[in-house]
Amino acid sequence: MTDRLGELSSAGVAIWLDDLSRTRLTSGGLEKLRQEKHVAGVTTNPTIFAKALSDANEYNWQLRDLAVRGVEVEEAVRMLTTYDVRWACDVMRPSYDKSGGIDGRVSIEVDPRLAHETEKTVAEAKALWWLVDRPNLFIKIPATEAGLPAITATLAEGISVNVTLIFGLDRYSQVMEAFLAGLEQAKANGHDLSKIGSVASFFVSRVDSEVDKRLEKIGSDEAKALRGKAAIANAQLAYERYSEVFSSKRWQALADAGAQPQRPLWASTSTKNPDFRDVIYVEQLIAPGTVNTMPESVIKAYADHGETQADTITGAYDAARKAFSDLEAVGVDLTDVIAVLEREGVEKFEASWLELLDGVRKSLESAAQGVGTPGRVAQGNAKAA
């Protein structure tokens, strides 16, 4: 039986799971994916947590205790989410140790309402780092204009960072600059660079969704022929920039001090258009030193019928540039596309965060009225110790 996910890993792509829930932890599902499906990391976001807390009653015992203590809703959210992430970090610790700290990482995001406030983002990142207290944690910080200096400042504190919501090439270059500056400051501050990790989460399918909507509106045959071309070309050109930065003398000086490169992480890799192959954003983005974070449905699809080539990126730069040129020629303003996606990305996570707060608020109110299962407290505490 072909181990397609094993082939993908051997091609240099780290397979991460884009999901986390208390159910996945209590059932042993995450551990099974790590052992059987080559899953080497976990990413979370406010949308994932909002769904997890709305779907499961495994949180009832903890919600009851938080309600008894009179904890405010925002602090309750921190307690619930950091509990899950800490537990996930422990599940993934063997992958972290085996890879020398490269993989086995679990990400938790700062409050997305702080996306445009640098100092508060840094303070929140530090608080989450303290709360989870695991070396294989990543703090997710959005690549907004205010997020860039926050990335540098957080790395300078010796805290590992997953930079999220990257859509465009110019912003990606700024993210890599923020990373290099952060490591240089961390070195000056006396931190061990070999302990600091980072990935840059470059979003994929959302680019096609926005561009293809515009191509449909243009309506010409030339425009329609370009559907499904933008996202992969965008990511391929991002890898070209990554290759340039991490072969520079500036980077080599950091590498000589023990630093590991900030790997490109392909995010939003589930196919939104049913006309596209369901694993297209995996198959077409294979290259050494990358991460692809996928929902479990995509992991299963790739295990079933994914086709792995040694490298589907580095030989495609000219074709990717032509795709960009063709899109501009039919009237797609790619600069505007990226601006819209960044704005909407932050807004969507803000909406999910508010949904999460509202759900926890209602759960705390119910728990305070005596609804809950306190008998599960000991079990839960033992699991995440």
The residue that leads in pLDDT, 382 or 345, is: 345
At residue 384, the pLDDT reads 40
Under 8 Å between Cβ of 237 and 268: no
Query: In this predicted model, what pLDDT tens digit does every residue of 285-321 receive, in sequence order?
Result: 999 999 999 999 999 999 999 999 989 999 999 999 9
Catalytically active residues, by annotation: 140
**pTM for the predicted model, two decimal places:** 0.93
At residue 366, the pLDDT reads 87
- Residue 187: pLDDT over 50: yes
Distance CA 260, CA 299 (A): 26
At residue 373, the pLDDT reads 44
Per-residue tokens: 90 = 């422990």
Average pLDDT, the chain: 94
Residue 375 binned pLDDT confidence (cut-offs 50, 70, 90): very low
At residue 380, the pLDDT reads 40
Distance CA 212, CA 223 (A): 9
Query: In this predicted model, what pLDDT tens digit does every residue of 81-117 receive, in sequence order?
Result: 999 999 999 999 999 999 999 999 999 999 999 999 9
Residue 369: partners with Cβ closer than 8 Å, 6 or more residues away: none
